[in-house]
Structure 1
Amino acid sequence: MQTGFRFNWSPVKEPLGFVKVVEWLTAVFSFASCSGFSGRNFVSLFCAAGNNETLDASFSYPFRLNQVRLVEGNVSLCNHTSTETHLVGDSSSSAEFFVAVAVLAFLYSMAALLVYVGYMHVYRDSDFGPMFDFVVTAAFAFLWLVSSSAWARGLQVVKYATGTEGIASTLLPCRDAGVTCEVTEFTSMRTLNISVVFGFLNLIVWAGNAWFVYKETRWHSQKVNSQPAAGRGPGPAPI
């Protein structure tokens, strides 16, 4: 069996290779839309007595919100002395897990495409290649399910912690009856919403691709070959 590189675009035109191209693109959009995010929300404190105050909360990937300082220590806000205050919550584990899965999926898709277009003759002449590809593809489908679900929950924590309700419950002056706290300028989180959508889209794409990879394995070929044999049954008895 020859194992040299043979460039051939034909596998990319088939579902097996074409879906790998789609996986490569969706993985890029997933980690780019999440890992590249940074934003700033402005918080207004409307004081019943005295001048109004304005604070800002800057946050970015990986969203360790409990390390984002909202108020410096011993600052007077609406005639209240506030201690150092941070945002609440930490979504770094779910965000970093999501991005790690996306980066690994990107790298594996690229490696698989290289094998398809250059070593397809080796891939289809061996049992190991298709079986390994199927196991890894199925594993990525499961990882996309777990990471996308975790990141969707983590994003809800980010939205709450940087919104009016979360900040009002964190700032001590906001608990006073004469002080109203409100986030007056929001950073658009559209790209983070898109990252969650692409995460679940990746789940669908990788789960669908697992079927096309499974058809390349000997498990599928043995099943197909055994069906006609089982359907033929015994021949007619001689007269």
Structure 2
Amino acid sequence: MMTGFRLNLSPLKEPLGFVKLVEWLTAIFAFGSCGGFSGSNIVTFFCGNGRNETLNANFHYPFRLSQVPFIEGNTTICNQSVTTTHMVGDSASSAEFFVGIAVICFLYSMLALLVYLGYMHVYKDSDFGPIFDFVVTAILVFLWLVCSSAWAKGLQNVKDATDTEGISATLALCKGSNITCEVTEFANMRTLNISVVFGYLNMFVWAGNAWFVYKETRWHSQKFISQSGHGRQQAPAPI
């Protein structure tokens, strides 16, 4: 059996190869829309004497908010001294898990496309290739579900920690005084919302691809042969 590289673009015209190309693209959008995020909310302090002050609440991937200084050093706000203060929350585990799965799927899709386009003759002539492909695909479907759900919850935690209630709960001067704290300008989190959508979209795409990969395995071919053989059995002659 020849095992050398043979370039053949025909698999891209079939669901097996075309869907793998779609998976490659959706994985790029998933980790690209989350991994490079950086934003800033503008917090306005209404001091009660007609004077207002503003402060930037900066945050970025991987969203370890508890390590992000909201106020650095001793700062005076509305004539009150405020010490170094960090935001509350840590969504790094869910964000990094999401981006990690997206990167793994990106790399695996490229590897699978290389096999489909150059080594399909080896892939179809062995049991190991299709079965390995199917098992990995099924695992990645489950991981997309888990990481997308975890990141959706982590993103909501980021939003809660950086909104007016979250900032007010972080700063002592916003509690029980004549100072009112309010987030007057929010960072654009559209890309983060899109990343969650692409996470669940990847899950559905990979789930659909699992069926086409399963059709390449001997499990499907044996089942098809068994059903065909059963259908060709002659009915017993009437007595």
State if a TM-score over 0.5 links the two structures.
Answer: yes
**Distance apart, 1:50 and its partner CA:** 6.8
- Unpaired runs of 5+ residues, structure 1, are none
1:160-179 equivalences in 2 (<5 Å): 160-179=160-179
**Distance apart, 1:79 and its partner CA:** 3.4
CA distance in 1, matches of 2:68, 2:92: 13
- 1:5 match: 5
TM-score (norm 1): 0.95
- 1:127 match: 127
1:110-125 equivalences in 2 (<5 Å): 110-125=110-125
1:224-235 equivalences in 2 (<5 Å): 224-233=224-233
What residue identity is the alignment partner of 2:54?
T
- Unpaired runs of 5+ residues, structure 2, are none
**Distance apart, 1:57 and its partner CA:** 1.1
C-alpha distance after superposition, 1:128-158 (max 9, x if no partner): 0000000011111111100100000110011
- 1:193 match: 193
Q: CA RMSD in A?
A: 1.6
C-alpha distance after superposition, 1:17-53 (max 9, x if no partner): 0000000000001111101110111100101137322
**Distance apart, 1:70 and its partner CA:** 1.1
Whether the 8 Å contact between 1:78 and 1:173 is mirrored in structure 2 is: no
Q: Does the alignment pair 1:80 with 2:77?
A: no
1:10-159 equivalences in 2 (<5 Å): 10-49=10-49, 51-159=51-159
Q: Which runs of 4+ in 1 moved over 6 A?
A: none
Other structure's SS at 1:44 match: strand
- 1:219 match: 219
CA distance in 2, matches of 1:238, 1:144: 56
Whether the 8 Å contact between 1:41 and 1:187 is mirrored in structure 2 is: yes
TM-score (norm 2): 0.95
CA distance in 2, matches of 1:154, 1:238: 69
Structure 1 range deviating more: 229-238 or 207-216 = 229-238
**Distance apart, 1:231 and its partner CA:** 3.3
Whether the 8 Å contact between 1:3 and 1:122 is mirrored in structure 2 is: yes
Structure 1 range deviating more: 216-225 or 40-49 = 40-49
